[in-house]
A and B are shown apart, each in its own frame.
Chain A
Amino acid sequence: MNDLSLHIIDIIQNSLCAGASLLKITINEDTAAKVLAIEIEDNGKGMDASQLARLDDPFFTSRTTRRVGMGIPLFRQSAQQSGGDLVVSSRLGTGTKVTASFRTDNIDMPPLGDIANSLILMVSANPDKDFHFRYVYDGSEYIFDTMEVKDVLEGLPLNDPSVIRMLTGMVQSNIEDLKGESGNNG
C-alpha cells in the first residue's frame, strides 16, 4: 500500500463484504496538533468480541477464497510506524468503525494519496450504496453525501465515466479550497 487513500479503499471493501449499505468516511486533519485521523464507519453485519480479538492476526479472515487477511494489520502498521494507532470497534448486527490516527510530522507518515479519486471510484463502483464523506481541516469541513448527489442527478448513473470525472473534480477542488482557505487564515 503506497498511500492512505488505498488503505481507505481496502477498509471500504471490508465494509461492503460485511453487507454495509451506508459508509461514513471522515478525515480529520489538525495542522496545529499535527495529527490526522481517518474514520470509516459502516452499518454492516459487525463482529462479535472473539472475531474482534483476532483481527490483528493476519491469518484470521472470514473469507473463504484465501486464508490470510492483511488489510487491518497493514493499516495498523502504517498508523503505528508514524506514531499513531488504529482502533476497531464493532457490534454484531450494528456495524463496525475503524479509526486510524497518524502523526503528520513523523518521517514515516505515509502520503494521503488521491482521496477524491479513491472515494469517487468506490461511489461509482457501488452506485446502490450510500457514502457520507467528510473532510475536516483545522475545523472547517467539506461534506460529500451520495444521497444529496443522487437527488440532484435524478437517476443519472453514478457509474457513467463523465459523471465520475465531474464528481472527482468536485471533491478534489473542494478539498483543495478547504486546505487553501484555512492556510490563509492561519
Chain B
Amino acid sequence: MNKIKSLDDLRKMKQSLEHGMNIREKSNSPESLVQIRVAMATCGIAAGARTVMNTLIEKIEKEKIPAVVTQGGCMGYCYAEPTIEVKVPGKDPVVFGNVDSKVAIEIVDKYIVNGELIDGVIPTNYQTINEQK
C-alpha cells in the first residue's frame, strides 16, 4: 500500500477502503454491531488499556468481526483494570476484568464468536463504594 501523507492521498484511498468494508456497511445499523468498550480512565490507562485497545482493533479486523471499539470512563473496578465491557447484540452487556492482550483475544474468540463465557467476568451485581449501603 502506498504511504498516506495528505488528505489528497486519503481521498485516493477512499475507494479501496470502501470496498474492504462493504460487508459491514451495507448490512448494518449500530445496534447490530458488537460494542466493545474499553475503560480508559487513569486506572485503566496505567494498567495497559491502550495496548488492549490496539489488540482488540487488530483482532476484529483480522477476524472480520462486525464490532466497534469505543472508550469508557472508570466504572469503579480499578482493582481489576484493564476492564472491557462487551455488548453482543441481543444480550446483556458483560464486563471482563484483568484483560491483557492474551485475554482480549480469548474474549473475542470464545465469547464474541462462540458465545462461551470465560473466567474474569465481573458480576453485574457488583456495587461501587458509593452505591453500597
Contacts and interface: CB of A to CB of B under 8 A. Distances in A.
Contact of B71 (A63, A70, A117, A126): A126
A149 B42 CA distance: 29
A117 B130 CA distance: 35
A152 B15 CA distance: 11
Interface stretch (A33-41, A46-54, A79-87, A162-170): A162-170
Given A64-B130, A70-B42, A169-B4, A152 B11 contact: yes
Interface in A139-153: 148-149, 152-153
Contacts, number: 117
Interface residues of B, number: 42
B17 A170 contact: no
Interface stretch (A5-13, A21-29, A88-96, A98-106): A5-13
Given A9-B40, A125-B53, A170 B10 contact: yes
Interface of A: 1, 6, 9-10, 13, 16-17, 63-67, 69-71, 74, 117-118, 121-122, 124-126, 148-149, 152-154, 156-157, 159-167, 169-170, 173-174, 177
Interface of B: 3-7, 9-11, 13-14, 17-18, 20-21, 24-25, 38, 40-43, 45-46, 50, 53-54, 57-58, 60-61, 68-71, 73-76, 78, 128-130
